[in-house]
Structure 1
C-alpha cells in the first residue's frame, strides 16, 4: 500500500478475519512505520488441530458420563442386593423352615436394624406355642 492508502478493514483501526472451514485468515490493521510507509500484516491459522481436540474432548466427556453412570448403577445394584434382597431371601428361608416344623438354625446377623428386628420378631413367634 502507498502511504496515503488504507486497507478497508484498517480504517477503524481494527483487524479483520475470514474463516473458511478450519482455515482462519487474519488481516491486521495497517501499520505505519517511522518513514511513513504503511505495512499490512496477514496471518493464516490452521484450526484443524483445535477441531480434532474439541471432538476428542467431547468424546472423552461422553465416555466419562457413560462409565460413571454404569459404575453408579452397579454400586446401587450391589447395595440393594446386599442390604435388602439377600436378607429377605434369608428370612424367607427361615419362615419356610419354621412353617414346615424344622428348626431354622441360628439367627443370621443383618446390617440393617429393620431386618434384624424382623428376624427377631419371627424368632419370638417361632418360640410361642400355638394356643398358649
Structure 2
C-alpha cells in the first residue's frame, strides 16, 4: 500500500531543507521525499498543500500522564512526550505504570530530584536538643 502526500511543507534540519515537497509512504514507512515525485500506480494521493509534514514532534516539557491527554497530543503531531522538568518518583514505577496503561505515544521521564530528596529526608525535621 502506498500513499503520496502531495505538496506539503517538509522541514528536515538534518539536510537543511525547508520547503514544499512530496512524501511517499510505502507500507507505513517513508520511502521517498522530494518535490514533484511521480505518482506510483494505485497510490492514494492526498493534497497536503499548506500543511506541515513531519514524522512526529517531541514534547520535552510534557506534564501529560493520561491516555486522553496523549491522544490530544497525538492530534497535534506529538509522537514522544517527555516529562523532563519535574520528573517522577520512583522512576521505575513511573515507567512500569506508563507501559501498563498502554500509552499511545513514546514516553520518558526524568527522575524527580524533589521526590528523591523527600524519600531520603525524615518526614519531619529533627528536634533540636
TM-score in terms of structure 2 length: 0.28
| Structure with the largest fraction of helix | 1
Q: Work out which of the two has the higher radius of gyration on C-alpha atoms and give 1 or 2.
A: 1
Larger relative CO (CA 8 A, sep 6+): 1 or 2? 2
| Structure with the largest fraction of strand | 2
TM-score in terms of structure 1 length: 0.27
